[in-house]
Structure 1
């Protein structure tokens, strides 16, 4: 898709789209080949008026269906070489241990938006009573007090609040909203939601499928506390950051070196692919550094070993750590928050996010369900999500692109939709089998917001010619060939040296073979004399 390395391409503009947390708004930006990930994230946070931006990140899925966090220290274009169109998801990357230590309400509101997504997608697992109460708090924050003249019949059914949302659960949500939460301000409802959520084991957890040494299917969760493992609804292990001595990966194996009760332990988990293992390792490294290191300036590069069939990894942390963020001075004037109806029916002009199948019989609304079953069902949606995303983004790329704004221009205020909005799941979850096509509802048209990192140009540049598909496969072949060739050559040389240098009678017959005599006299002895000189 793109050509890299040419100085003439450094000023070429690339169109990219960033989906925000409420799923109803998309920022359209223009990038140059020189723009780094930090430039794009800074620009997005500037549009959203976020100062405590270190808790957020940009996520994307590559052509191999592997999720990634955008590396802030590297060029954006070099990280998404084969992506066309370019689509990122603005998400919370580091969930704060205590959201109320944040200095700005607008940062806390975006944490709240992310947790609403986690609840509806089932990542924030809890009992049926807890999920009903959390959903009622969301309704209170969005609708306010119950008004029988406005909130008629089943007014909750227009909102997608939980992964499994039955009529019985909706009745329970309305009962709590009408009786227990009357008179609660929207801000108070959001803060109550946050206080309840941070006590859950799955707070800040993005599940990674792995297998243990017995082949049992588990899920790794990584957050501010450490690394957790789940099987079903049970939390099996909790490796806290003070106990973790080292993190590394070798091929598909993610390895944790622990010091527990003054003894060293090693725990390994097998990931589905090498790239998935690298992603888990990098997520764990970033979470550990962000929440445990006192200063980002003292963090060295982190290196891990890899294996004979894969290269190791090298990672350099970019940005501030949490302690530095909390010690930063707040702004004198707090920005105002424009709350959006993110759980209502989405505007028809906004491209759909790929849908998570809602056919699972379990979810965060039923404690009898299985967390592993949920993750299995959610993984089923990936093939459909990818194909659906390609259709959506291709249609989006054919839409007339607005002229980019000047970097100094103020963005328009966030738009809200008065219509109901049914959210769709994140495209970030892996899957393999297409789910049934869900029914998507649309309301009145709403144009996406636009912004730019570059000044406007008189005419868009012509698209570069597509890259050859053979280069990717050749690269992966060479990654396997060279380590194997070097290893085999080393073994052969070692065997020859042993045969020719030892006086053992066991190898006398081999040494007397004509081929070995020729090898010794014409090559081996001359090489020895050369190195002796």
Structure 2
């Protein structure tokens, strides 16, 4: 007569990376997030599904990633209609190592979207080359009979698409590719796959590759944006990268209310850096994103992941369990990395690590010296004056994590630092005005803040302090007993109407007659004797 809960079918809409494409899906209340993601990937003929995810927005406007191991309905219970966005969740350090062309195409679509919405910050020359490659992919070689007038204006490629950049994009689209007769660094003559690979290769070298900006404030109240990707945690102020905390430097990460706290372990000393998020849910989202990014790119196996908690007084009950394969497991499955059994393991690796240990990375051996109680895409990529040579991407940074182990085995090596700074087709490009790089797409995507760049400083009072049991116990003891005394007086002495029913309970009547009344008379007598 009545339908059981298992017979109810819910409908949802999934927006793909092309905004004009959507999928209408159905799911039962018992289905988990993994089912929906696998269904979407199946419709797109994607087999390398581990790099993708589904994003949704709750009733409070906070974005979330759909958890693969939890029920769909419980995660989107307040959403109506139910709407998901199919996005790249884990940007591979080097997308050129992906086995399937269809996977690389989805990465290209995501990067094209990031460029359009101002999340992939680049210089004017890089923006012109990336735009020309998009034109080459979607329109093919330049044909004077077809491509007439300012045909680039009809296509939205950049957030701030100026006339100067459009003119340079058309110029690059007409010029033959370098290495061909008459070639001068353009894109004409490239096949679709070659143009895709060139686009992805340039994009993955930018500082903001794989970065999703989270608005935060530092201890001085300066507006910053926090990004988390395969290389670690990055901070940006306006259009400049200010700090880069590599995963190998992270000792512990947790959150307290709205405060996202990073504990760093340097050879010389330890640092504690705090970032204030707009609200509690936003802080928890940053923490969850950081955990997933950290574990995906650093853990050797998903079986090594434990249940992680917020780690703070105001984050009790916040638990997170990593679900899915790690990057190393994907590379081992695809034959790009030798299995761990055939590699030399340190004597201190032992069995399964506890939740407080740091996942092993090529630069962080599993020695047990570091730990974290809880661990944790865009913005901009202007070079920093204070950045050292380690901050320059020379190819190794694109292969961080497990991919470092296969860098020498790759046939498609990235070029040297000088060649990296001059992507194909940009070698002979004249410098464009600074109107794009300074008034760039990042300004519309993220609100810039004025002020000078600040060095990383410990959060005031967050450094290591000597613990005193007496200082911790006595104030707590006094506060507890004072609170209990005030509650007893409120209940037993006042005639407040909401407490009448509680005051008539037999237990409280007996407590008042046998203990409270005699104690009250004793205290009154002693006070009279003293005065």
Higher relative contact order by CA 8 Å / sep ≥ 6: 1 or 2?
Answer: 1
**1:181, 1:376 → 2: CA distance?**
31
C-alpha spacing 1:177/1:84, structure 2 compared with 1 (3 Å)? same
Contact 2:117 2:445 in 1 (8 A): no
Quote how far apart the aligned CAs of 1:218 are: 0.1
Superposed structure 1 runs of 4+ greater than 2 Å apart: 305-308, 369-378, 487-497, 517-523
Displacement of 1:298 after TM fit?
1.3
Query: Could you report, residue by residue, the CA deviation over 1:333-371 in whole angstroms, capped at 9, with x for unpaired residues?
Result: xxxxxxxxxxxxxxxxxxxxxxxxxxxxxxx97111267
Shift of 1:198: 1.1
User: Which residue, out of 148, 163, 168, partners 2:164?
Assistant: 168
| Contact 2:310/2:316 (8 A) holds in 1 | no
Tell which structure's C-alpha radius of gyration is larger: 2
Q: Which sits farther off after the overlay, 285-294 or 145-154?
A: 145-154
TM-score computed with the length of structure 2 as normaliser: 0.64
Partner-residue secondary structure (3-state), 2:436: coil
Q: Which position in structure 2 is the counterpart of 1:366?
A: 436
Q: Select which of 196, 219, 227 maps to 1:213.
A: 219
Residues 72-83 of structure 1 correspond to what in structure 2 (within 5 A)? Answer: 72-83=68-79
In structure 2, do the counterparts of structure 1 residues 371 and 186 end up closer, same or farther at CA, with 3 Å as the change threshold? closer
Runs of 5+ unmatched residues, structure 2: 176-185, 336-433, 449-474, 486-511, 523-531
State the partner residue of 1:324.
329
- Distance in 2, Cα, partners of 1:488 & 1:47: 59
In the aligned structure 2, how far is the partner of 1:288 from the partner of 1:202?
Answer: 17
Whole-angstrom distance in 1 between the partners of 2:440 and 2:164: 20
User: Could you tell me how far apart the structure 2 residues matched to 1:371 and 1:164 are?
Assistant: 5
Q: Could you tell me whether the CA contact under 8 Å between 2:224 and 2:236 is conserved in 1?
A: yes
Q: In the alignment, which residue of structure 1 is the partner of 2:178?
A: none
Asked if 1 retains the 8 angstrom alpha-carbon contact of 2:121 and 2:442, the reply is no
SS of 2:211 mapped into structure 1: coil
Please give the residue correspondences for 1:28-427 in structure 2 after superposition, counting only pairs within 5 Å: 28-179=24-175, 180-308=186-314, 311-329=316-334, 366-369=436-439, 373-376=443-446
Q: Helix, strand or coil: the match of 1:221?
A: strand
Decide which moves more: 44-53 or 286-295.
44-53
Contact kept, 8 Å, 1:306 with 1:313, in 2: the verdict is: no
CA displacement at 1:376 relative to structure 2: 4.2
CA distance in 2, matches of 1:299, 1:365: 47
Q: Partners in 2 of 1:153 and 1:374 — Cα distance?
A: 28
SS in 2 for 1:235: strand
Report what 1:18 is aligned to. Answer: 14
Verify the 8 A CA contact 2:121 2:440 in the aligned structure 1. Answer: no
The count of residues paired between Structure 1 and Structure 2 equals 363
Match of 1:402 in 2: none
Q: Per-residue deviation at 1:156?
A: 1.1
TM-superposed CA distance for 1:305, in Å, is 2.9
Residue 493 of structure 1 aligns with which residue? 481
Contact kept, 8 Å, 1:300 with 1:316, in 2: the verdict is: yes
Q: Deviations over 1:257-312 (max 9, x none)?
A: 1111252221110000100000000001100000000000111111113444x645
Distance 1:96 1:18 in 2: 23
CA distance in 2, matches of 1:193, 1:126: 13
Aligned-residue offset at 1:7? 9.7
In the alignment, is the contact (CA less than 8 A) between 2:14 and 2:22 conserved in 1?
A: yes
Alignment check: 8 A CA contact 2:118 2:442 kept: no
Q: Deviations over 1:484-517 (max 9, x none)?
A: xxx99993426779xxxxxxxxxxxxxxxxx9x9
Shift of 1:153: 1.1
Supply the distance in 2 between the matched residues of 1:373 and 1:51 (Cα, whole angstroms): 36
Structure 1 Cα separation of the partners of residues 304 and 62 of structure 2: 31
Matching residue of 2:422? none
Q: Distance in 2 between matches of 1:266 and 1:7?
A: 55
- How far apart are the structure 1 equivalents of 2:203 and 2:266? 29
**TM-score normalised to structure 1 length:** 0.64
Rounded Cα–Cα distance in structure 1 between residues aligned with 2:108 and 2:443: 26
2 CA distance for matches of 1:372 and 1:217? Answer: 14
Compute the RMSD of aligned alpha carbons: 3.0
- Indicate how the Cα distance of structure 1 residues 371 and 165 shifts in structure 2: closer, same or farther if over 3 A, else same: closer
Question: What is the rounded CA distance, in whole Å, between the counterparts of 2:204 and 2:126 in structure 1?
Answer: 13
In structure 2, relative to structure 1, the CA distance for the partners of 1:107 and 1:490 (3 Å cut) is farther
Once residues 319 and 249 of structure 1 are traced to their aligned partners in structure 2, the CA distance between those partners, rounded to angstroms, is 24
Residue 69 of structure 2 aligns to a residue in which SS?
Answer: coil
Structure 1 residues 365 and 90: CA distance shift in structure 2, 3 A? farther
1:232 to 1:518, Cα distance in 2 relative to 1, 3 A: same
The alpha-carbon distance between structure 1 residues 327 and 149, as it changes in their structure 2 partners (threshold 3 A), is same
